[in-house]
């Protein structure tokens, strides 16, 4: 295997393509053994990638990853589980690969940061000191954004919108045990939220399941927004594949379909416009905010965390980086692809700073694929370059209505390659070489 120069690492940092980029071999940054400590909170799309890349870039760094769960259950591709295209197990990933690299993986919940002492404390009572701290805690659900909703009610009306595997399983079980002719309701969140096309891909996946198994059933969408990501291709799919199943209620100037209250006993949902839906299955996706460790570290501004666009460091507290869904990354959407791309910039920036070397020119990228129906997949994406405090998009693309079946099928294949590639990178997995291929 050839070694990559540090300049190539900068290029690599641009993002995960559909092809796998696993365990880059680098000319390592020279940092004396134990000379510096990097602590990362959150072992998801952002944090796990930072851990992998920073340790590979500077193997002598003392890297600790604090992650609440022993197994990561990806939100991305969880809609495919609901549609019957994947198992829940296929979304689950462990941390053995990162441990093999020499990263200290601690399964505990970080609940305090002292930026002056440069320490992180955990629920388990441990304290970790850092030279650089990376926070990638993803989202917390704002349970109180809907009257009647709560953490307990989520066990009756699941959101299934974070890394909790039990939430995904519950929603699927509810769909499976619903009678044919029942009503599924989806409560959509207002901007900004995790994965802009995610709820609409979910609508397609639920409708696909209903069409195949419970064709007399309906899916009612209640949406506080007037428009949404990839709307033309989603609404084309609603018409083409799910005409008598999906009822889309988008808000207008006259009718506001923001949900004001839910009743877990009757499963009734009430909107501002006065529409009432009595659901058999209610998927309630409330408003969201950065994971709570962000506010405990004092790096948030309201619900989300501002960042310096050139490296995702916090403008509020020195030596702390924040990336992924918790960050306000201007126009860059909250996606796993974005988080992974940001993570490579963060890793390179930390390694260069600690080795007192020149930094790389940062580049970011995002692509979000959405499955509409079997082999019918659409995508949206762009590159992003820091310009002042903003991230300037360029080279953007989005799937169009009326595309050929071949294009849509190719998108689907790309999306599967991307899932394998990003989870390989996050968890430093090594896949067996393809049959017949050696060395
Ligand atoms: C239905 C759905 C579909 C999606 N589809 C796509 C898609 O197709 N493509 C795409 O790119 N993105 C998709 N996404 C979005 C993607 O899942 C997120 O954008 C991405 O996971 C964000 O990465 P992150 O690192 O910010 O957070 P996460 O990946 O959620 O990781 C956060 C981690 O931090 C841990 N954590 C939080 N707080 C603490 C703490 N205090 N102490 C210890 N650990 C902590 C959590 O346990 C979690 O493991 C989808 C999301 C959903 C909900």
Q: How many residues does the chain have?
A: 439
pLDDT above 50: residue 438: no
- 46 CA closest ligand 1 atom index: 25
pLDDT above 60: residue 73: yes
Nearest to 365 by CA among 4, 51, 18: 18
Rounded Cα distance, 83 and 172, in Å: 9
Can you identify the CATH homologous superfamily of domain 6-138+291-365+419-426?
Answer: FAD/NAD(P)-binding domain (3.50.50.60)
pLDDT above 60: residue 4: no
pLDDT of amino acid 433: 59
pLDDT class for 27, splitting at 50, 70, 90? Answer: low
> Which protein residues are within 6 Å of ligand 1, measured from CB?
41-47, 66-69, 72, 75-76, 78-79, 109-110, 136-138, 161, 163, 194-195, 198, 202, 291, 293, 324-326, 334-337, 339, 368-369
For range 38-43, the mean pLDDT: 98
The 10s digit of each residue's pLDDT in 321-348 is 999 999 999 889 999 999 999 999 999 9
Rounded Cα distance, 413 and 375, in Å: 8
- 343 CA closest ligand 1 atom index: 25
Q: Kindly report the pTM of this predicted structure.
A: 0.94
Nearest alpha carbon, ligand 1 atom 5: 76
CA angle 31/312/66 to nearest 5° reads 65
The alpha carbon dihedral of 201, 204, 205, 206 has a sign of positive
pLDDT class for 57, splitting at 50, 70, 90? Answer: very high
- Residue that the structure tokens 């126009």 belong to: 331
pLDDT of amino acid 21: 34
Q: Are 241 and 234 within 8 A, CB to CB?
A: no
pLDDT of amino acid 331: 85
Mutation choice for ligand 1 from 194, 285, 320, 337, CB with most ligand atoms inside 8 A: 194
Q: How many CA atoms lie within 13 A of 24 on its CB side?
A: 31
Mutation choice for ligand 1 from 82, 86, 109, 138, CB with most ligand atoms inside 8 A: 138
**In angstroms, what is the span from residue 350 Cα to ligand 1's centroid?**
22
The 10s digit of each residue's pLDDT in 101-144 is 999 999 999 999 999 999 999 999 999 999 999 999 999 999 99
Q: Are 67 and 47 within 8 A, CB to CB?
A: yes
**In angstroms, what is the span from residue 40 Cα to ligand 1's centroid?**
14
Residue 72, classified by CB atoms within 10 Å of its CB into exposed (0-12), middle (13-18) or buried (19+), is buried
Longest Cα separation, the chain: 66
Nearest alpha carbon, ligand 1 atom 27: 138
pLDDT top residue among 19 and 268: 268
Q: Which fold has domain 142-287?
A: FAD/NAD(P)-binding domain (3.50.50)
Q: Is beta strand 327-328 parallel, antiparallel or unpaired with respect to 376-387?
A: unpaired
The 10s digit of each residue's pLDDT in 309-323 is 999 999 999 999 999
The alpha carbon dihedral of 242, 370, 336, 342 has a sign of negative
For range 270-290, the mean pLDDT: 98
Residue 24 neighbours by CB distance under 10 Å:
18
Nearest alpha carbon, ligand 1 atom 8: 76
Rounded Cα distance, 341 and 49, in Å: 9
Please report, rounded to a whole number, the percentage of residues in the chain having pLDDT higher than 70. Answer: 92
Residues spanned by CATH 3.50.50.60 within the chain?
Answer: 6-138+291-365+419-426, 142-287
pLDDT of amino acid 23: 36
pLDDT of amino acid 34: 78
Q: Is beta strand 268-271 parallel, antiparallel or unpaired with respect to 132-135?
A: unpaired
CA angle 362/428/43 to nearest 5° reads 75
**In angstroms, what is the span from residue 195 Cα to ligand 1's centroid?**
9
Q: How many CA atoms lie within 13 A of 385 on its CB side?
A: 6
Contacts of 97 (CB under 8 A, 6+ apart): 52, 427, 428, 429, 430
- Residue that the structure tokens 């995002």 belong to: 366
The 10s digit of each residue's pLDDT in 198-251 is 999 999 999 999 999 999 999 999 999 999 999 999 999 999 999 999 999 999
pLDDT above 80: residue 11: no
pLDDT of amino acid 107: 98
The 10s digit of each residue's pLDDT in 189-199 is 999 999 999 99
């Amino acid at each position: 295997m050839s070694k990559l120069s540090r300049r190539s690492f900068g290029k690599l940092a641009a993002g995960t393509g559909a092809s796998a980029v696993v365990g880059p071999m680098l000319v390592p940054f020279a940092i004396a053994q134990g000379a510096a400590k990097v602590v990362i909170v959150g072992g998801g799309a952002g944090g796990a990638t930072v851990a992998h890349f920073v340790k590979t870039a500077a193997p002598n760094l003392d890297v600790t990853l604090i992650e609440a769960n022993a197994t990561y259950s990806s939100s991305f591709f969880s809609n495919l589980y609901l549609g019957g295209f994947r198992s829940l197990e296929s979304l689950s990933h462990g941390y053995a690969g990162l441990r093999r690299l020499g990263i200290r993986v601690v399964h505990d919940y970080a609940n305090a940061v002292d930026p002056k002492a440069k320490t992180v404390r955990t629920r388990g009572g441990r304290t970790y000191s850092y030279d650089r701290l990376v926070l990638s805690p993803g989202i917390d659900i704002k349970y109180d954004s809907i009257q009647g909703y709560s953490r307990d009610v989520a066990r009756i009306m699941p959101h299934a919108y974070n890394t909790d595997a039990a939430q995904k399983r519950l929603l699927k079980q509810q769909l499976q045990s619903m009678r044919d002719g029942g009503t599924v309701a989806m409560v959509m969140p207002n901007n900004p939220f995790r994965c802009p096309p995610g709820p609409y891909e979910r609508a397609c996946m639920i409708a696909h399941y209903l069409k195949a198994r419970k064709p007399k059933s309906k899916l009612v969408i209640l949406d506080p927004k007037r428009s949404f990501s990839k709307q033309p291709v989603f609404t084309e799919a609603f018409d083409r594949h799910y005409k008598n199943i999906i009822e889309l209620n988008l808000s207008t100037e006259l009718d506001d379909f923001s949900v004001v209250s839910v009743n877990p006993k009757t499963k009734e949902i009430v909107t501002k416009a006065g529409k009432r839906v009595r659901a058999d299955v209610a998927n309630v996706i409330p408003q969201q905010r950065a994971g709570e460790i962000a506010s405990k570290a004092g790096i948030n501004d309201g619900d989300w965390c501002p960042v310096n666009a050139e490296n995702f460091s916090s403008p509020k507290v020195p030596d702390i980086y924040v990336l992924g869904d918790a960050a306000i990354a201007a126009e860059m959407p909250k996606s796993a692809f974005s988080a992974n791309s940001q993570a490579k910039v963060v890793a390179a920036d930390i390694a260069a700073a600690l080795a007192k070397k020149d930094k790389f020119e940062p580049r970011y990228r995002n692509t979000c694929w959405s499955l509409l129906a079997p082999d019918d997949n659409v995508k949206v994406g762009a590159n992003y370059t820091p310009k002042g405090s903003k991230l300037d998009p360029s080279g953007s693309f989005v799937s169009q209505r009326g595309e050929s079946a071949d294009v849509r099928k190719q998108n689907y294949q790309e999306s599967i390659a991307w899932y394998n590639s990003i989870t390989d990178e996050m968890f430093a997995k090594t896949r067996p070489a393809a049959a017949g291929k050696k060395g």
